[in-house]
Amino acid sequence: MIQATLSTLYGPVAEDMILVEDLLESTKQVEIPALKKMLDHALDAKGKRLRPALVLLAGTFGEYNLNRLVPLGTAIELLHTASLVHDDVVDGAASRRGRPTANSIFDNALTVLLGDYMFANAAEMVTRTGSLPVTRLFALALMKMTSGELDQDAAAFDVSKDIQNYLWRIGGKTAALIATATEGGAMLGGCPESTVEALRTYGWSLGMAFQIVDDILDFNGDEAEMGKPVGSDLREGTITLPALLFMERFPRENPIKKFFTARRGREEYLQDAISRIRESTVLDESMDMAREYVRRGTDALSRLPASEGRRSLEEIGEYVLRRRS
Residue 254 has, within 13 A of its CA and on its CB side, a CA count of 16
Q: What is the pLDDT of residue 2?
A: 45
Higher-confidence position of 140 and 265: 140
Q: Quick check: 186 and 59 in contact, CB under 8 A?
A: yes
Q: What is the pTM of this model?
A: 0.94
- How far is 257 from 254, CA to CA, in rounded Å? 6
pLDDT digits (tens, 9 = 90+) for 162-189: 999 999 999 999 999 999 999 999 999 9
How many C-beta atoms lie closer than 10 Å to residue 223's C-beta?
A: 12
Positive or negative: CA dihedral 206, 237, 155, 109: negative
CATH topology of domain 2-322: Farnesyl Diphosphate Synthase (1.10.600)
Q: Quick check: 270 and 259 in contact, CB under 8 A?
A: yes
Q: Check pLDDT > 60 for residue 202.
A: yes
Q: What is the pLDDT of residue 6?
A: 65
Least confident of 3-7, 69-73, 102-106: 3-7
Q: Check pLDDT > 70 for residue 49.
A: yes
- Angle value at C-alpha 274, between 280 and 168, nearest 5 degrees: 80
* 310 CB-near residues (< 8 Å, 6+ apart): 61, 301, 304
* 77 CB-near residues (< 8 Å, 6+ apart): 20, 24, 49, 51, 52
- How far is 226 from 17, CA to CA, in rounded Å? 24
Range 144-157 burial, b when 16+ CB lie within 10 A, else e: bbebbbebbeebee
Give the type of residue at 64: Y
Q: What is the pLDDT of residue 101?
A: 83
pLDDT digits (tens, 9 = 90+) for 115-134: 999 999 999 999 999 999 99
Positive or negative: CA dihedral 277, 279, 285, 288: positive
pLDDT digits (tens, 9 = 90+) for 79-102: 999 999 998 888 777 777 768 788
The arithmetic mean of pLDDT across residues 289-298, rounded, is 98
